[in-house]
């Protein structure tokens, strides 16, 4: 759970948490062998700079280019996944609410996708980008 921004994600015990960011916006989780990395973080949209769900969607698709094998966008979220040219599989989910965003990105060797695809499914189902309650650092606009 991110206590600053109020997002939550579950991960397999094989992924160990790093020290977390100094700003409290997220954390990195890695497997002991370094093959799997999960990044989970949240922050504010910079709306004055044109930072929106749509701009993030377009940026993600442009960054990933022809490596995208799956993409889907809803009213307040998107998912982009695929396999990089170096054989790294990725899955990103990005969500917005009012002036805030939360995301996670998991990467792993495509050669081991049969093992790690199940992890992605469980992680995705556990992701709560905006926990209910007060006291979180959020914009209400």
**pTM (two decimals):** 0.95
118 vs 14: CA distance, rounded Å: 13
What does pLDDT average to in each consecutive run of 10 residues of the chain (141 residues)?
A: 95 94 94 97 92 96 97 98 98 96 98 96 97 92 75
108 vs 116: CA distance, rounded Å: 7
Q: Could you give the 3-state DSSP secondary structure of residue 113?
A: helix
**Spatial CB neighbours of 100, under 8 Å, sequence gap ≥ 6:** 5, 42, 43, 44, 45, 130, 138, 139
99 vs 115: CA distance, rounded Å: 36
């Amino acid at each position: 759970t991110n206590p600053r921004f109020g997002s939550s994600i579950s991960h397999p015990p094989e992924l160990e948490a790093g020290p977390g960011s100094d700003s409290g916006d997220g954390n990195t989780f890695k497997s002991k062998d370094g093959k799997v990395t999960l990044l989970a973080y949240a922050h504010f949209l910079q709306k004055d700079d044109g930072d929106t769900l749509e701009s993030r969607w377009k940026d993600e698709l442009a960054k990933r280019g022809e490596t995208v094998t799956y993409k889907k966008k809803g009213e307040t979220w998107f998912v982009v996944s695929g396999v990089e040219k170096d054989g790294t599989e990725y899955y990103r989910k990005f969500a917005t609410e009012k002036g805030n965003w939360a995301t996670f990105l998991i990467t792993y060797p495509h050669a081991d996708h049969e093992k790690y695809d199940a992890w992605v499914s469980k992680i995705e189902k556990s992701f709560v980008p905006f926990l209910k309650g007060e006291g979180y650092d959020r914009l209400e606009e």
